[in-house]
């Protein structure tokens, strides 16, 4: 059925009798559309019913659906029987997820392309025009609605009885605050509790200086690091090597003689004399920019690079920032060696560790 | 008593009548079935976002059955041998379990992550389409605002989502997020401390992010998406200009059945592609990153792509620290500007753009017809400028990887980004503006003089000229000039149905000449009854 509508079927035409058995179903559809201000102006079968092209398309669509069935079955078979448990090394289990993906993907694409072919190729093409009816709301309607709402205000009489409005407001504001109070009160937490922003795990406990320990908890002797080497150290306290002391990881560096000389001189200048022990210096590993561990140490240039935003710090000059977005030097940990020959922190860091904040002194 | 016979054939009609008696749905249902939608491939971009959101919900619900959102320390004892015996948070351990010990868990995780990336990508591309075609103009400003908010809420959904596994990479991201909050003047430390319940990382942030990620943010997304779609439905879709299309009508297809079927098929295709990606392409292999430890990071730690522009802006920011010498002294760290102020400006700019443009153009009418980007050069150029800005920041987010792979100095990359960010966007504006004008001019040329045929004619005086095919029959003055209609101007002869028939069919030719391509929405051009191939003397039927 190909219908090309001309001028004769524009709106204004007599509505048809939908109960008339003579009227075709399409005519009823078109009548319905017209009642919604839609004109079907072009309606055309893309393939002739019963034609070779139609049969071919039907076969294609059916093929897609059958492919879906096949792939979905394969998915189930693989899901149930494929050896999926993780084994070290190469093995069939590494194929489990890819196979699931391929079978599921093919199954879904099969439905998708099947439906698309059905809709795009087998269904008649049409062009319909619908009116937008913008500005259909008359100004009169707007006036009526506006007046109705104003009348509601009149009925409530807020203007005439101002006490009502005031008291309602006075009542509602505290109620709103009540709603917010538990949320704010429950969540709020003082950032300066126990002076936590200024202290780290290296702060001496009961007069006892804190040892520098490795990741496995063993203390460190100066001989453990060769010249030019560096090691990440932690406070030798309980859970010192964990995220509970996320601001404490420190880089202990054994500088070569010439660099150590520079470093010491620059330390003196900043009033940090005695922070180093011999050729050893310890700097906070937590970047003063965004808190990543600044962990890439270039031995030749004594630069420390933070891999997150590429701030670079010059270790021999109090770890001051020399490139990138960081604006503050890495705090230095004053260190010495205790009676048993292990590194300890002389005191806690003398500057706040980690990313900068408003009230940092 | 007589047994009533059940008439099978009348059952649907009877039940339909029964339903309509009670709910009076016949008229609204007819309206819904009949609603006309205009069709164009670019209108499908937003739907990719919608469909990937559905996939996100489906796979996300699956993941919640197995994920344990706590930071309690456990010793891993699952299938993945390299990490066995490692202390880690329960969140990370359960994420590993989803990857290795839940049958089919890994594909669900990867599909979830891929559809999240696709969701954000589709939002961005959809937004560009809306912007460059002027679809945000009155009466659709509200929907533009909702769409912009959807990007930022999606951004939050993505960030809280990829922070949940508590692996080495996401923990670093969380660390940076805490530093960003810390950098806010006056309230920074209080805000951070309240969100993390103390110093970073605390023990509760994963649980809080979890409830935000699975309840609060999805609820907000669902609400925004519903209003977004509702408004598209209520205000009716925009359409391209074309034959029969006016500002006051919609030309297209009725929603049912063909339009709806195509939508359904498209959903399945999007779903299928996500399944293929989830199965075949590894994403976020958390088992390689290890648990989050505050002292471990590796080079090339990049966030998901939609966060990378912020990473980039952070990298480019110079070390400008503002000291306020009052009392003990106060600081505004440089981190504050690229990560709090810049996104704030971007949000505001995008939210208010429709109103700023309307004010600038003094155009307060309603527009339902789209504009071709070339027809509004300043807007297209502004868009190109914004895209350039965004791309530079995104690329800079990976500048360490680029420096590494192409053996470029890292510092040079940073400086290139800083300078490029200032110079390239204005350059993009200028170039785009010129291109738009050039395209406009060419459109007018073709309308005035016709299509280039590629046929060179020699004039009696020896000159060579190209023959042009005018687009309309000459009027009484012999002019063939046409008005520009805001729509594609045919610029090649085969757009006019010239040249020989293209041969269709894969293995053997289908004996039917191809239809001349038409824009959807107007009847196909009838081919001439008999057509000759230019060049050969042989006639083909």
Distance from CA of B493 to the nearest CA of A (A): 25
Write out pLDDT tens, residues B3-28: 666 778 888 889 999 999 999 999 99
- The reported pLDDT for the residue numbered A63 is 97
User: Is residue B85 within 8 angstroms of chain A, CB to CB?
Assistant: no
* Residue A159: φ, ψ to 5°: -65, -45
Full 3-state SS string of A190-234:
CCCHHHCCCCCCCCCECCECCEEECCCCCECCHHHCCCCCEEEEE
Q: B462: Cβ–Cβ under 8 A, 6 or more apart, which residues?
A: none
Write out pLDDT tens, residues B412-455: 999 999 999 999 999 999 999 999 999 999 999 999 888 988 88
> Which whole number is the average pLDDT over B145-162?
96
User: Is residue B315 within 8 angstroms of chain A, CB to CB?
Assistant: yes
DSSP state letter for B427: H
- The reported pLDDT for the residue numbered A6 is 41
pLDDT surpassing 90 at residue B521: no
Write down all domains in chain B, each with its CATH number in brackets.
39-239+251-371 (1.20.810.10), 450-519 (no CATH)
Distance from CA of A92 to the nearest CA of B (A): 14
- The reported pLDDT for the residue numbered A265 is 94
> Which whole number is the average pLDDT over A10-33?
80
**Angstrom distance (rounded) from CA B365 to CA B356:** 14
R_g of chain A, CA atoms, integer Å: 39
The CA-based angle A298-A299-A301, given to 5 degrees, is: 75
pLDDT surpassing 60 at residue B513: no
Quick one: closest CA in A to B332, which residue?
Answer: A358
- The reported pLDDT for the residue numbered B10 is 85
B104 SS3 class: coil
Write out pLDDT tens, residues B195-235: 999 999 999 999 999 999 999 999 999 999 999 999 999 99
**Angstrom distance (rounded) from CA B265 to CA B269:** 6
- The reported pLDDT for the residue numbered B478 is 74
CB atoms inside a 10 Å sphere around CB A165: 13
User: Is residue A217 within 8 angstroms of chain B, CB to CB?
Assistant: no
Give the model's confidence band at B87: pLDDT under 50 very low, under 70 low, under 90 confident, else very high: very high
Instruction: Give the residue, A134 or A172, on which the prediction is more confident.
Output: A172
**Angstrom distance (rounded) from CA A130 to CA A108:** 34
Tokens of A65: 């659906």
Interface of A with B in 236-255 (CB under 8 A): 242-243, 245-247, 249
Give the model's confidence band at A2: pLDDT under 50 very low, under 70 low, under 90 confident, else very high: very low
Q: Are B72 and B145 in contact (CB under 8 A)?
A: no
User: Is residue B325 within 8 angstroms of chain A, CB to CB?
Assistant: no
Nearest to B58 by CA among B107, B121, B93, B94: B107
Find the range with the poorest average confidence among A5-14, A348-357, B280-289.
A5-14
Write out pLDDT tens, residues A146-192: 999 999 988 888 788 889 889 999 999 999 999 999 999 999 999 99
Quick one: closest CA in B to A94, which residue?
Answer: B100
**Angstrom distance (rounded) from CA B101 to CA B96:** 8
Test the A interface: residue of B35, B36, B190, B285 with most A CBs within 10 Å: B36
Tokens of B235: 């205000």
Spell out which residues of chain B touch residue A32, defining contact as CB-CB under 8 Å.
30, 34
Distance from CA of A194 to the nearest CA of B (A): 10
Cα–Cα distance list, A234 to A284, A293, A304 (Å): 10, 13, 18
User: Is residue A358 within 8 angstroms of chain B, CB to CB?
Assistant: yes
Test the A interface: residue of B272, B310, B313 with most A CBs within 10 Å: B272
Tokens of A174: 């505290």
Mean pLDDT over the full length of chain B: 90
pLDDT surpassing 90 at residue A5: no
Spell out which residues of chain A touch residue B279, defining contact as CB-CB under 8 Å.
97-102, 104-105
Tokens of B445: 């040329």
**Angstrom distance (rounded) from CA B168 to CA B397:** 18
* Cβ–Cβ gap B272/A108 under 8 Å: yes
- The reported pLDDT for the residue numbered B491 is 87
Spell out which residues of chain B touch residue A54, defining contact as CB-CB under 8 Å.
none
Q: B254: Cβ–Cβ under 8 A, 6 or more apart, which residues?
A: A33, A38, A40, A126, A128, B33, B34, B35, B36, B37
Full 3-state SS string of B36-82:
EECCCHHHHHHHHHHHHHHHHHHHHHHHHCCCCCCCCEEECCCCCHH
Give the model's confidence band at B527: pLDDT under 50 very low, under 70 low, under 90 confident, else very high: low
* Cβ–Cβ gap A323/B414 under 8 Å: yes
Burial of B228 (0-12, 13-18, 19+ CB in 10 A): buried
Q: Side by side, which strands form the sheet with A280-284?
A: A212-213, A230-235, A250-254, A280-284, A332-333
pLDDT surpassing 80 at residue B514: no
Q: B170: Cβ–Cβ under 8 A, 6 or more apart, which residues?
A: B162, B163, B164, B286, B292
> Which whole number is the average pLDDT over A66-89?
94
Nearest to B393 by CA among B320, B327, B316: B316
**Angstrom distance (rounded) from CA B136 to CA B383:** 13
Nearest to A212 by CA among A240, A189, A192, A170: A240
Test the A interface: residue of B86, B171, B268, B342 with most A CBs within 10 Å: B268
Interface of A with B in 138-177 (CB under 8 A): none
Q: Between B141-163 and B168-182, two packed helices, what is the crossing angle to 10 degrees?
A: 120
Write out pLDDT tens, residues B97-116: 999 999 999 999 999 999 99
User: Is residue A43 within 8 angstroms of chain B, CB to CB?
Assistant: no
Where exactly are the structural domains of chain A?
Answer: 3-44, 52-130, 139-168, 212-345
Distance from CA of B416 to the nearest CA of A (A): 13
A313 SS3 class: strand
Of the candidates B36, B198, B276, the beta carbon closest to that of A130 is on B36
Percent above pLDDT 70 for chain B: 91
What superfamily in CATH does domain A212-345 come from?
Rieske [2Fe-2S] iron-sulphur domain (2.102.10.10)
**Angstrom distance (rounded) from CA B123 to CA B117:** 10
Full 3-state SS string of B433-490:
HHHHHHHHHHHHHHHHHCEEEEEEEECCCCCEEEEEECCCCCCCCCCCCCCCCCCCCC
**Angstrom distance (rounded) from CA A290 to CA A325:** 9
User: Is residue B302 within 8 angstroms of chain A, CB to CB?
Assistant: no
Cα–Cα distance list, A219 to A141, A254, A337 (Å): 84, 16, 11
pLDDT surpassing 50 at residue B159: yes
User: Is residue B195 within 8 angstroms of chain A, CB to CB?
Assistant: yes
- The reported pLDDT for the residue numbered B539 is 42
User: Is residue B25 within 8 angstroms of chain A, CB to CB?
Assistant: no
* Cβ–Cβ gap B182/A356 under 8 Å: yes
Write out pLDDT tens, residues A230-288: 999 999 999 999 999 999 999 999 999 999 999 999 999 999 989 999 999 999 999 99
Helices (H) and strands (E) in chain B, counts: 18, 8
Quick one: closest CA in B to A289, which residue?
Answer: B335
Distance from CA of B35 to the nearest CA of A (A): 8
**Angstrom distance (rounded) from CA A198 to CA A211:** 19
* Cβ–Cβ gap A109/B318 under 8 Å: no
Instruction: Report strand pairing: B451-458 vs B464-469.
Output: antiparallel
Of the candidates B80, B292, B317, the beta carbon closest to that of A325 is on B317
Quick one: closest CA in A to B260, which residue?
Answer: A119
* Cβ–Cβ gap A327/B30 under 8 Å: no
User: Is residue A326 within 8 angstroms of chain B, CB to CB?
Assistant: yes
Q: ipTM surpassing 0.95, yes or no?
A: no
- The reported pLDDT for the residue numbered A178 is 93
Nearest to A361 by CA among B174, B294, B189, B200: B189
Half-sphere exposure of A172 (CA within 13 A, CB side): 6
Helix/strand/coil percentages in chain A, nearest 5: 40, 15, 45
**CA A52, A54, A58, A63 torsion-angle sign:** positive
Of the candidates A102, A123, A196, the beta carbon closest to that of B199 is on A196
Spell out which residues of chain B touch residue A247, defining contact as CB-CB under 8 Å.
199-200, 294
- Chains A, B: CB pairs < 8 Å: 305
């Amino acid at each position: 059925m190909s219908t090309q509508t001309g001028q004769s079927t524009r709106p204004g035409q007599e509505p048809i009798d939908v109960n008339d058995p003579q009227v075709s179903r399409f005519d009823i559809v078109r009548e319905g559309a017209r009642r919604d201000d839609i004109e079907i102006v072009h309606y055309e079968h893309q393939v002739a019913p019963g034609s070779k092209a139609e049969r071919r398309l039907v076969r294609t669509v059916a093929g897609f659906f059958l492919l879906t069935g096949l792939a979905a079955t394969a998915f189930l078979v693989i899901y149930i029987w494929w050896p999926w448990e993780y084994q070290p090394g190469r093995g069939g289990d590494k194929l489990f997820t890819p196979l699931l993906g391929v079978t599921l993907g093919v199954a879904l694409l099969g439905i998708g392309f099947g439906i698309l072919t059905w809709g795009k190729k087998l269904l008649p093409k049409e062009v319909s025009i619908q009116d937008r009816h913008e500005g259909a709301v008359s100004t009169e309607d707007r006036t009526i609605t506006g007046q109705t709402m104003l009348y509601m205000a009149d009925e409530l009489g807020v203007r005439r009885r101002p006490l009502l409005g005031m008291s309602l407001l006075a009542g509602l504001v505290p109620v709103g605050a009540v709603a917010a109070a538990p949320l704010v009160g429950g969540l709020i937490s003082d950032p300066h509790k126990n002076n936590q922003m200024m202290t780290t795990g290296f702060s001496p406990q009961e007069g006892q200086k804190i040892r520098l320990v490795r990741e496995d908890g063993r203390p460190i002797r100066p001989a453990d690091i060769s010249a030019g080497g560096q090691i990440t150290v932690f406070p030798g306290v309980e859970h010192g090597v964990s995220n509970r002391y996320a601001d404490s990881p420190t880089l202990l560096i054994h500088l070569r003689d010439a660099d150590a000389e520079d470093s010491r001189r620059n330390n003196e200048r900043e009033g940090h004399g005695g922070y180093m022990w011999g050729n050893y210096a310890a700097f906070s590993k937590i970047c003063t920019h965004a808190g990543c561990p600044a962990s890439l140490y270039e031995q030749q240039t004594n630069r420390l690079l933070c891999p997150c935003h590429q701030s670079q710090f010059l270790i021999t000059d109090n770890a001051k920032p020399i490139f990138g977005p960081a604006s503050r030097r890495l705090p230095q940990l004053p260190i010495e060696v205790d009676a048993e020959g292990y590194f300890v922190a002389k005191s806690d860091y003398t500057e706040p560790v980690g990313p900068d904040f408003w009230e940092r002194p | 008593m007589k047994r009533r016979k059940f008439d099978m054939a009348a059952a649907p009609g009877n039940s339909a009548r029964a339903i309509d008696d009670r709910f009076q749905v016949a008229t609204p249902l007819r309206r819904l079935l009949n609603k006309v939608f205009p069709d164009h491939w670019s209108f499908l971009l937003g739907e990719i976002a919608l469909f990937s959101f559905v996939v996100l919900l489906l796979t996300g619900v699956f993941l919640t059955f197995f994920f344990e959102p706590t930071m309690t320390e456990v010793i891993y004892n699952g299938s993945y041998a390299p990490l066995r015996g490692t202390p880690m948070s329960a969140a990370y351990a359960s994420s590993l379990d989803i990857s290795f010990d839940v049958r089919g868990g890994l594909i669900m995780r990867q599909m979830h992550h891929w559809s999240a990336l696709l969701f954000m990508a589709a939002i961005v591309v959809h937004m560009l389409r809306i912007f460059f075609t002027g679809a945000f103009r009155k009466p659709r400003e509200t929907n533009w605002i909702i769409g912009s908010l959807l990007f930022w809420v999606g951004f939050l959904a993505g960030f809280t989502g990829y922070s949940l596994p508590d692996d080495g990479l996401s923990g670093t991201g969380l660390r940076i997020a805490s530093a960003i909050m810390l950098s806010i003047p006056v309230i920074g430390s209080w805000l951070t401390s309240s969100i993390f319940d103390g110093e970073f990382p605390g023990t509760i942030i994963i649980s809080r992010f979890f409830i935000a990620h699975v309840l609060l943010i999805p609820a907000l997304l669902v609400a925004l998406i519903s209003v977004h779609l509702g408004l598209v439905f209520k205000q009716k879709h925009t359409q391209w200009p074309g034959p029969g299309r006016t500002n006051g009508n919609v030309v297209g297809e009725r929603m049912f059945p063909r339009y709806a079927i195509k939508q359904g098929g498209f959903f399945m295709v999007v779903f299928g592609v996500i399944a293929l990606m989830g199965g075949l392409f590894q994403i976020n292999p958390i088992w390689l990153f290890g648990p989050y430890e505050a002292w471990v990071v590796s080079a090339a730690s990049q966030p998901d792509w939609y966060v990378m522009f912020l990473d980039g802006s952070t990298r480019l920011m110079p070390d400008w620290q503002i000291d306020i010498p009052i009392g003990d002294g106060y600081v505004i760290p440089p981190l504050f500007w690229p990560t709090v102020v810049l996104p704030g400006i971007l949000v505001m700019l995008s939210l208010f753009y429709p109103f700023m443009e309307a004010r600038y153009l003094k155009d307060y009418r309603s527009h339902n017809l789209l504009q071709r980007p070339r027809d509004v050069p300043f807007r297209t150029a502004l868009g190109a400028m914004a895209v350039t800005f965004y791309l530079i920041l995104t690329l800079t987010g990976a500048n360490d990887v680029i420096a590494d792979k192409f053996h470029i100095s890292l510092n040079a990359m940073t400086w290139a980004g800083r300078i490029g960010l200032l110079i390239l966007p204005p350059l993009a504006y200028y170039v785009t503006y010129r291109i738009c004008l050039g395209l406009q001019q060419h459109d007018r040329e073709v309308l005035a003089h016709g299509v280039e045929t590629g046929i060179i004619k020699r004039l009696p005086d020896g000159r060579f000229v190209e023959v042009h095919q005018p687009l309309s029959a000459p009027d009484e003055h012999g002019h063939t000039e046409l008005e520009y209609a805001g729509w594609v101007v045919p610029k090649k002869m085969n757009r006019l149905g010239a040249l020989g028939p293209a041969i269709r069919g894969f293995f053997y030719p289908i004996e039917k000449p191809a239809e001349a391509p038409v824009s959807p929405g107007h009847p196909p051009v009838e081919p001439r009854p008999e057509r000759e191939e230019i060049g050969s003397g042989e006639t083909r039927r």
